[in-house]
Structure formats: structure tokens, C-alpha cells
Amino acid sequence: MNSGSIEQVLSAGAKAIAEQSKIAPLEAQILLAHLLQKDRAYLYSWPEKILSDEQLKSFQSMIERRQSGEPVAYLTGSKEFWSLPLKVTPDVLIPRPETEQLVQLALDLLPHDACKVADLGTGSGAIALALASERPQWQLTAIDFSSTALEVAQENANGLGLTDQLEFKLGNWCEPLDTPQHAILSNPPYIAKADPHLQKDGLNFEPASALASGADGLDDIRIISETTKDYLVTDGLLLLEHGYQQQAKVIKILESSGYKDVRGYQDDQQQDRFVVAKCPS
């Protein structure tokens, strides 16, 4: 890449990452816009603008990192979730679009008025922040066992002005909760430890503790299922995301823990992806 107009470097950059990405031209634009601190429209408006040597070098190094599989969100340090711009670092899982549907389920199933809701394994804070942004009367508790992840979540809450509704707690799943909740949500790790997918598609850059969970991927869901009952009000809801082939097993786990009305939901790719259950008295 030795020519330096915006148009030329975008085309060279997209070509260089075509193997890593199905949306290489878009990714090249996102990376260059981030580097120039402009929006993508700027790139279309100024195709002939020449990059400085320093800008060219930085762009090249981003493209090389992307070539080695590093996800775009870690290169730009941000990811949009529920239309909220979130900071992400390699200490947190990059929020996925399907998790927005877990948020939607909670919004659909819970009353608008004052509810206490916890997000277990909050990572970047995505679920808790999306809920807070939609329901000003809810009190959210965002929990993570990683203090570095919790710092990212806290920074996101500050940046979005959502701190009044949110409490951040360091700890293992429900343990830090001190009042019964109306709902508990989690996108826990659910990939089997030996799943080769963990080494591919940029997942190897994400925190393993947020992705993998024991031999069948269900260890954490088993723990959550056994422990959340003590932290929910009667008929309080547990809403979980899980792997697309795990739904029957997750339903069984929750039913044998005593949960009622256990129901599976699909994501918008028609994959079984979520389970909602009611806490027994």
C-alpha cells in the first residue's frame, strides 16, 4: 500500500482483509474513519484526499492486525449495541446483535414500572445499559467477576449518563446481590471448552472466560440455574442466552432446578437462542 489517497488505501485495505472478512470494504472504511476521527460519509466526500505518512502507517498496521484475525471492535475500541456506542477492550466480550433480542424479551415480559433487574457477567455492560436506557424506572445491578470488565462497564455508564440507575458489583454470578430481583438476565459463556470455533473468527482474541464453559458449554448455566432462585422474587424471571443446539438441555436444567413455565425462544436467524423461566415460590 504505497499510494495514499483515501480511495486508494480503502481499496488496498479491503483487498488485504478479504480473506478475513465477508464485509471487507465496509471494515476498511470503519477502520479508516476511526483513524481519521471522521464518519464514513467523509470518506465518500473526500476520495482524493491524500493521507499523511503517519496516517498511512497507522492504517497499514490496523489492516495487518485485522489480517491476523483481530476483531474490528478491538481495533476501534468500540461497538454499537442497542444503538448505544459502547467502549470495548479485550477484557470484555464484544456484544453480539443476537443479545439485543434478550434485551427485547425482558422489555416485552416485564412491567414498565420500578423493577429490580440484574445482569450477570455484564462485560461491557451492554445488557444492563440497554435496559436502563429504555426503562428509566428500573434499578439495574451489573455484576462481573472481572474487575477490568467492570471498569469498562462503568466507563460506558458514565459516558452514556446512565449511572443513576446502575449499580456495579464485583463477584461471582448472583453472590453480590443483596435484594431480591424481579428479573435476572445473563449471556453467560456457553461454548464447549474443546470447540474448535474458539480458535477461529476472532474468538481467540476475546476473553476465554466469557466464551467457554466446561466440557459441554453448560457449566455456568448449571450454576446460574441452581443459584439464581434464591435471588428472585416469586414469579421473578430468569432470562438466559445459550448456544443454538443447547435449548432442550437448558430447559431440562432449569426445570430440574424447580423453575416453572420454562420457555424457549429463537433469535431472528431462527436459531434456538434464549430461555425464559419463572422462579418458584
**Helices and strands, number each (H, E), in the chain:** 10, 9
Beta bridge partners of 186: 120, 240
Long-range interactions of 221-224: CB distance < 8 A, separation 24+: 221/188, 221/190, 221/246, 221/250, 221/253, 222/253, 223/173, 224/120, 224/173, 224/174, 224/186, 224/188
Please report, as ranges, the residues that interact with ligand GLN according to CB under 6 A. 96, 187-191, 203, 211
| CA 82 – CA 133 distance, rounded (Å) | 9
Residue carrying C-alpha cell 474458539: 198
Residue closer to ligand GLN by CB (options 190, 274) is: 190
| CA 146 – CA 72 distance, rounded (Å) | 23
Shortest reach from residue 163's CB to ligand GLN, in Å = 25
Query: What is the signed CA dihedral for 240, 219, 155, 110, rounded to 10 degrees?
Result: 20
Residue closer to ligand GLN by CB (options 7, 219) is: 219
Shortest reach from residue 18's CB to ligand GLN, in Å = 22
Shortest reach from residue 269's CB to ligand GLN, in Å = 11
| CA 55 – CA 14 distance, rounded (Å) | 16
**Max Cα distance, the chain (Å):** 68
Residue closer to ligand GLN by CB (options 95, 176) is: 95
Residue closer to ligand GLN by CB (options 96, 278) is: 96
Question: Which segments of 47-191 does DSSP mark as H helices, in order?
Answer: 53-67, 72-76, 99-109, 126-134, 147-160
| CA 254 – CA 280 distance, rounded (Å) | 11
Shortest reach from residue 211's CB to ligand GLN, in Å = 5
Residue closer to ligand GLN by CB (options 188, 236) is: 188
Shortest reach from residue 185's CB to ligand GLN, in Å = 12
Residue closer to ligand GLN by CB (options 149, 191) is: 191
Shortest reach from residue 189's CB to ligand GLN, in Å = 5
